[in-house]
Structures are given as structure tokens and as C-alpha cells.
Amino acid sequence: MSLSPEQKAEIEEQRSQSNKTLRVVSEGMEKHLYTAHEVLDHGFVRVIDYMGDDAAICQAARVSYGKGTKSVQNDAGLIRYLMRHWHSTPFEMCEIKLHVKLPVFVARQWIRHRTANVNEYSARYSILDREFYIPAPEHVAAQSVVNNQGRGAALQGEEAARVLEILKADSNRAYDHYEEMISQDGQDGLARELARMNLPANIYTQWYWKVDLHNLFHFLRLRADHHAQYEIRVYADAMCKIVADWVPAAYGAFEDYRMGGANMSGRAMDCVRRMLKGEEVTQENSGMSKGEWREFEAELNG
């Protein structure tokens, strides 16, 4: 991970400060404030600011003054009820602002989640650093033969080494040309907004990303799933650990009902009922397509 000296100094200064406040503070989240959690080879996730905690979710659901007289146990039960019945607005009362450093191709997946506020590092105004994502050998894999948007078995030996060498060489060659174009023997050179277009998608960018807890849970449900691309999943995994410390009751309910639960169609529920009655149910008599049945079996078999 590469933090600039200026960023390190800023983090140290921020972490050395202690401010008195009347607003709700999550002790679990306080330890994460400004700390950079390493992701991939040069990336990180760090919390810049946050609002709310588990009690804030319950307060919004009850529309009450202060914390009221409810116990932590009652709050946890209410949060599980809200999650179980898809009552999303109380979770929107909590927000988090993250500073994320990530490869451009990961950012282009990430930005598909259009329910956040984003401000990205501008390569029109600034010069990007020579930092590229180069996967570890175990993550250099062939195209999957069963999933058009996934990877299969890892490449081995000389083939993996050849691919890694191409990635490194092409990345550095593109950056060499980028530098040449923006600075030509003391002359003005090409405009930065044009020179950037030749850079590869594995170069690192940075942004501030602010989102409420409801939409963050939706992001994590999709991106922390084992089907998600590895390079975005590791960011989601790091964020899961942060959220678990921030709102432990809400994260526990999310983990149980969303990450560990399953959504079933009416046909799938009918099949479950028939199975419980002892009936033999097959794909042919289920009313499901082969794809639906395959997914149904996967859910039942874990």
C-alpha cells in the first residue's frame, strides 16, 4: 500500500485530535476513524466520517426522543424485525464517508451503485502516480467455461509468468508515454485531460464515497458475495469488518437475513412445501427451468 507522506501526516494529525461532542458516537467505529485498511497491492479503505449507530436506527423506527427506556436486547430485536421485513428507511439514518484508493477498472464496477455521493481524484487537474494493480500469481486465472463474466482455474508456471510480465510491461510503457506527453523537454506538453486517456484500467484512482447504511448493505450483499469479482470483493470484505464494529446489531441482522439467507420464488416455496410432505420433487415436475432448479438445489445444499 502506498500512502504519500502528506497523507500519512494528515492521518496522524487527524488521529491525534480528540473532540468533545454531543452527537451519537459509536465506540466500535472510533477505532477505525482515519485508519487506512490495506486492500490489494496499493489500495486502501479508510473512514473519514460517520453518523449514527444501532440506537439511531431504533430511534428513527420509534420516532422517539433520545434513547428512551428500551434495552439493548430490545433494540437488537427491533433491528432484526426491520431487516426481516425489509423496512429500509430506519437504516438510512446512518451514514458513512469513506476514502478509497482502488484500480480504475474496480471503480467502474463500483460506480454502478448509484445511491452514493462520490468525488473522485481528477486527472484533469493532477498527475496520476505510477501505481498499477498487478494481481498475485494465484489470482491470474483463465476465463471460466461456465460463467461468461467470471474466471476459472489459475494459470500455472510459465503461462502465469508470461501474463504478469505483459501486465507489468504494458502498464509501465503506458505511464512512460504519459509522462513524455505531459512534459516534453521543458515545453508545455499535452494537456493532462488528454494525456490520461492512454493510461490502462489497472492504474489507481481515489475517491471519497458517502452512503447511507441501507444502500451500503445493498452494496455489500452483492460485492461481498463469493460470486463477485475478487478485486472488488476484497474491498467489500474490508468494509464488512468496519460496519460490523460500527453497528454490530444491524450488521448481525444483515449477515443473517441477507448474506446468510435466501430469497425464493413462489414456485421454489411450493417445492419446499411438497418436499416437507414427503413428495419427490424433480426439475421436471417443479415448474422451474434448468437454471432455476440448479440455483434452487444450490441453496438447499448450502
By annotation, the residues acting in catalysis are: 223
Compute the residue count for the chain: 302
* Beta-carbon count within 10 A of 84 CB: 12
Q: Is 214 annotated as a binding residue?
A: yes
196 marked among binding-site residues: yes
- What are the start-end ranges of the H helices in 247-278? 248-254, 266-276
Q: Is the dihedral of CA 199, 121, 241, 70 positive or negative?
A: negative
- Tell whether residue 251 is among the known ligand binding residues: no
Q: CA-CA distance, 95 to 51, in Å (whole number)?
A: 5
| CA-derived radius of gyration, the chain | 24
Task: Determine whether the annotation assigns residue 42 to a binding site.
Answer: no
The verdict on whether residue 121 carries a ligand-binding annotation is: yes
How far is residue 238 CA from its own chain's centroid?
8
Determine whether the annotation assigns residue 114 to a binding site.
yes
Residue with cell 494459470: 155
Edge-to-edge strands of the sheet including 95-103?
37-39, 43-51, 95-103, 204-212, 117-120
Q: Is 221 annotated as a binding residue?
A: no
At 189, list the grid cell. Answer: 506538453
Question: Any known ligand binding at 109?
Answer: yes
The annotation status of 122 as a binding-site residue, yes or no, is: yes
Binding site annotation covers 133? no
Q: Is 183 annotated to bind ligand?
A: no
104: closest CA among 82, 128, 72?
Answer: 128
Q: Which residues make up each annotated binding site for FAD?
A: 89, 112-114, 120, 212-214, 218
Q: Which residues make up each annotated binding site?
A: 89, 109-114, 120-124, 196, 212-214, 218, 223
Q: Which residues make up each annotated binding site for dUMP?
A: 109-112, 120-124, 196, 223
